């Protein structure tokens, strides 16, 4: 079960290694559920690495644990045609 004793139990953070690849908007979210989605706005055209970190607090019986997962993905932002 998720541990809500310290606020929202799931936290998501995104970052990129090349400034400007992401547009204006949030870079971190606090979620009340393990399932969900976040929206990230694209910035200028280019390539880089997108890092996503998810931290979730959970309790099982009388033991609570913070689980952390960090993944890196190639990010390609293309010019919009218009």
Q: What angle do CA 79, 17, 27 make, to 5 degrees?
A: 85
Decide: 55 and 66 in contact? Cβ < 8 Å.
Answer: yes
pLDDT digits over 18-68, tens only?
A: 989 999 999 999 999 989 899 999 999 999 999 999 999 999 988 999 999
Ramachandran sector of residue 31 (left: φ over 0; alpha: ψ -120 to 50; beta: rest): beta
The answer to pTM > 0.75 is yes
Burial class (CB in 10 A: 0-12, 13-18, 19+), 9: buried
């Amino acid at each position: 079960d998720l541990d809500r004793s310290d606020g929202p139990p799931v936290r998501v953070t995104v970052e990129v290694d090349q400034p400007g690849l992401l547009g204006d908007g949030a870079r971190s979210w606090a979620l009340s559920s393990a399932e969900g989605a976040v929206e990230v706005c694209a910035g200028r055209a280019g390539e880089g690495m997108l890092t996503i970190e998810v931290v979730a607090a959970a309790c099982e019986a009388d033991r609570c644990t913070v689980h952390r997962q960090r993944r890196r993905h190639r990010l390609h932002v293309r010019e919009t045609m218009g």
